[in-house]
Amino acid sequence: MELVDAHGYDQLSLTTLAERLGVRPPSLYKHVASVEDVRLGLSVIAYRDLERELAASLEENTHAPIIPFASAYRRFARSHPGLVNSTIRVLPGFEEELREAESAAVQPLVRVLQRYGVEHPTRQVHLARFVRSALHGFLSIEAADGFLRSEPVEDSYQTVVESLDLVLRSEKGTTS
Protein backbone atom coordinates (compact mmCIF):
# COMPACT_ATOMS: atom_id res chain seq x y z
CA MET A 1 0.00 0.00 0.00
CA GLU A 2 2.80 2.41 0.88
CA LEU A 3 4.56 1.63 -2.40
CA VAL A 4 1.43 2.31 -4.42
CA ASP A 5 0.68 5.52 -2.53
CA ALA A 6 4.23 6.74 -3.05
CA HIS A 7 4.67 5.81 -6.72
CA GLY A 8 1.22 5.18 -8.14
CA TYR A 9 -1.01 2.20 -8.76
CA ASP A 10 0.11 1.83 -12.37
CA GLN A 11 3.77 1.72 -11.37
CA LEU A 12 3.37 -1.37 -9.21
CA SER A 13 5.33 -4.36 -10.46
CA LEU A 14 6.53 -7.52 -8.80
CA THR A 15 10.09 -6.30 -9.27
CA THR A 16 9.47 -3.05 -7.37
CA LEU A 17 7.50 -4.93 -4.72
CA ALA A 18 10.32 -7.45 -4.29
CA GLU A 19 12.87 -4.63 -3.99
CA ARG A 20 10.70 -2.93 -1.35
CA LEU A 21 10.41 -6.18 0.59
CA GLY A 22 14.11 -6.98 0.25
CA VAL A 23 13.57 -10.25 -1.60
CA ARG A 24 14.18 -11.51 -5.11
CA PRO A 25 11.19 -11.35 -7.51
CA PRO A 26 10.95 -15.16 -7.91
CA SER A 27 10.39 -15.43 -4.14
CA LEU A 28 7.10 -13.54 -4.52
CA TYR A 29 5.69 -16.23 -6.79
CA LYS A 30 5.47 -18.53 -3.77
CA HIS A 31 2.78 -16.15 -2.46
CA VAL A 32 1.14 -14.56 -5.51
CA ALA A 33 0.57 -15.68 -9.07
CA SER A 34 1.00 -12.30 -10.71
CA VAL A 35 1.07 -8.55 -10.24
CA GLU A 36 -2.65 -8.60 -11.04
CA ASP A 37 -3.22 -10.73 -7.91
CA VAL A 38 -1.43 -8.09 -5.85
CA ARG A 39 -3.42 -5.32 -7.51
CA LEU A 40 -6.66 -7.19 -6.81
CA GLY A 41 -5.75 -7.47 -3.14
CA LEU A 42 -4.89 -3.78 -2.99
CA SER A 43 -8.13 -2.84 -4.72
CA VAL A 44 -10.17 -4.88 -2.27
CA ILE A 45 -8.31 -3.32 0.67
CA ALA A 46 -8.83 0.15 -0.81
CA TYR A 47 -12.56 -0.44 -1.23
CA ARG A 48 -12.89 -1.74 2.34
CA ASP A 49 -10.94 1.17 3.82
CA LEU A 50 -12.87 3.65 1.72
CA GLU A 51 -16.16 2.07 2.79
CA ARG A 52 -15.20 2.43 6.47
CA GLU A 53 -14.28 6.10 6.04
CA LEU A 54 -17.41 6.91 4.06
CA ALA A 55 -19.69 5.01 6.45
CA ALA A 56 -18.23 6.95 9.37
CA SER A 57 -19.14 10.19 7.60
CA LEU A 58 -22.81 9.18 7.77
CA GLU A 59 -22.74 9.52 11.53
CA GLU A 60 -22.85 13.29 11.11
CA ASN A 61 -26.42 14.49 11.17
CA THR A 62 -26.53 17.37 8.72
CA HIS A 63 -29.02 18.97 6.36
CA ALA A 64 -26.50 18.39 3.52
CA PRO A 65 -25.23 14.79 3.90
CA ILE A 66 -23.00 15.09 0.83
CA ILE A 67 -20.72 17.51 2.71
CA PRO A 68 -19.30 15.09 5.31
CA PHE A 69 -19.32 12.33 2.69
CA ALA A 70 -17.25 14.45 0.27
CA SER A 71 -14.88 15.42 3.09
CA ALA A 72 -14.33 11.76 3.95
CA TYR A 73 -13.72 10.90 0.31
CA ARG A 74 -11.20 13.73 0.01
CA ARG A 75 -9.39 12.67 3.21
CA PHE A 76 -9.11 9.13 1.88
CA ALA A 77 -7.87 10.31 -1.53
CA ARG A 78 -5.28 12.59 0.06
CA SER A 79 -4.12 9.90 2.50
CA HIS A 80 -3.93 7.25 -0.22
CA PRO A 81 -3.19 8.99 -3.53
CA GLY A 82 -2.15 5.80 -5.30
CA LEU A 83 -4.55 3.43 -3.63
CA VAL A 84 -7.61 5.57 -4.40
CA ASN A 85 -6.95 4.99 -8.09
CA SER A 86 -7.37 1.26 -7.58
CA THR A 87 -11.05 1.96 -6.93
CA ILE A 88 -11.61 3.01 -10.53
CA ARG A 89 -9.92 0.10 -12.29
CA VAL A 90 -11.31 -3.20 -13.47
CA LEU A 91 -8.81 -6.03 -13.59
CA PRO A 92 -9.63 -8.57 -16.31
CA GLY A 93 -10.46 -11.89 -14.72
CA PHE A 94 -11.27 -10.32 -11.36
CA GLU A 95 -14.46 -8.46 -12.24
CA GLU A 96 -16.65 -10.38 -9.80
CA GLU A 97 -14.41 -9.86 -6.76
CA LEU A 98 -14.06 -6.18 -7.56
CA ARG A 99 -17.79 -5.80 -8.21
CA GLU A 100 -18.53 -7.12 -4.73
CA ALA A 101 -15.98 -4.83 -3.08
CA GLU A 102 -17.15 -1.82 -5.10
CA SER A 103 -20.78 -2.55 -4.30
CA ALA A 104 -20.06 -2.54 -0.57
CA ALA A 105 -18.04 0.69 -0.84
CA VAL A 106 -20.87 2.42 -2.72
CA GLN A 107 -23.43 1.63 0.00
CA PRO A 108 -22.58 4.72 2.09
CA LEU A 109 -23.20 6.84 -1.00
CA VAL A 110 -26.52 5.08 -1.57
CA ARG A 111 -27.46 5.97 2.01
CA VAL A 112 -26.51 9.60 1.31
CA LEU A 113 -28.75 9.54 -1.76
CA GLN A 114 -31.58 8.07 0.29
CA ARG A 115 -31.22 10.92 2.77
CA TYR A 116 -31.88 13.23 -0.15
CA GLY A 117 -35.02 11.25 -0.92
CA VAL A 118 -33.65 9.31 -3.90
CA GLU A 119 -35.20 5.87 -3.57
CA HIS A 120 -35.39 4.53 -7.13
CA PRO A 121 -32.52 2.01 -7.58
CA THR A 122 -31.75 2.97 -11.17
CA ARG A 123 -31.64 6.66 -10.28
CA GLN A 124 -29.33 5.82 -7.37
CA VAL A 125 -26.92 4.12 -9.78
CA HIS A 126 -26.82 7.13 -12.10
CA LEU A 127 -26.42 9.63 -9.28
CA ALA A 128 -23.78 7.51 -7.52
CA ARG A 129 -21.77 7.48 -10.76
CA PHE A 130 -22.25 11.24 -11.09
CA VAL A 131 -21.08 11.95 -7.52
CA ARG A 132 -18.11 9.57 -7.75
CA SER A 133 -17.07 11.07 -11.10
CA ALA A 134 -17.29 14.63 -9.82
CA LEU A 135 -15.36 13.94 -6.61
CA HIS A 136 -12.77 11.58 -8.05
CA GLY A 137 -12.23 13.76 -11.11
CA PHE A 138 -11.65 16.88 -9.03
CA LEU A 139 -9.36 15.06 -6.62
CA SER A 140 -7.36 13.52 -9.48
CA ILE A 141 -6.75 16.94 -11.00
CA GLU A 142 -5.89 18.35 -7.57
CA ALA A 143 -3.42 15.51 -6.88
CA ALA A 144 -1.71 16.18 -10.21
CA ASP A 145 -1.39 19.89 -9.36
CA GLY A 146 -3.57 20.53 -12.38
CA PHE A 147 -5.26 23.67 -11.07
CA LEU A 148 -2.89 26.42 -12.15
CA ARG A 149 -4.89 29.54 -11.43
CA SER A 150 -4.26 31.49 -8.24
CA GLU A 151 -7.76 31.16 -6.80
CA PRO A 152 -7.87 28.80 -3.82
CA VAL A 153 -8.48 25.18 -4.77
CA GLU A 154 -10.33 24.75 -1.48
CA ASP A 155 -12.95 27.25 -2.68
CA SER A 156 -13.32 25.33 -5.93
CA TYR A 157 -13.81 22.06 -4.06
CA GLN A 158 -16.41 23.72 -1.88
CA THR A 159 -18.18 24.84 -5.06
CA VAL A 160 -18.20 21.26 -6.37
CA VAL A 161 -19.67 19.94 -3.11
CA GLU A 162 -22.26 22.72 -2.90
CA SER A 163 -23.24 22.00 -6.51
CA LEU A 164 -23.63 18.31 -5.74
CA ASP A 165 -25.83 19.23 -2.80
CA LEU A 166 -28.04 21.39 -5.05
CA VAL A 167 -28.37 18.64 -7.67
CA LEU A 168 -29.20 16.04 -5.04
CA ARG A 169 -31.77 18.32 -3.42
CA SER A 170 -33.44 18.73 -6.80
CA GLU A 171 -33.80 14.93 -7.06
CA LYS A 172 -36.26 14.59 -4.20
CA GLY A 173 -39.22 12.66 -5.48
CA THR A 174 -37.65 11.71 -8.81
CA THR A 175 -38.84 8.24 -9.77
CA SER A 176 -36.71 7.37 -12.78
| Residues 28-75: tens digit of each pLDDT | 888 888 888 888 888 889 999 999 999 999 998 788 999 999 999 999
138: in domain: yes
79: in domain: yes
| Residues 96-138: tens digit of each pLDDT | 788 888 889 999 999 999 999 999 999 999 999 999 999 999 9
175: in domain: no
23: in domain: yes
pTM: 0.86
Contacts of 77 (CB under 8 A, 6+ apart): 84, 136, 139, 143
Q: Tally the domains of the chain.
A: 1
| Burial of 5 per CB tally in 10 Å (0-12, 13-18, 19+) | middle
| pLDDT (0 to 100) of residue 112 | 97
Q: Which helix (H) or strand (E) holds 80?
A: none
166 Rama sector, left if φ>0, alpha if ψ -120 to 50, beta otherwise: alpha
38: in domain: yes
Residue 129: alpha-carbon gap to chain centroid: 11
Q: What is the CATH number of the domain that holds 151?
A: 1.10.357.10
Is pLDDT of 93 > 80? no
Instruction: Give the pLDDT mean for 17-31.
Output: 89
Q: What's the mean pLDDT when you consider all of the chain? A: 90
Is pLDDT of 94 > 80? no
77: in domain: yes
Within a 10 A sphere around the Cβ of 23, how many other Cβ atoms? Answer: 13
Structural domain boundaries enclosing 98: 2-170
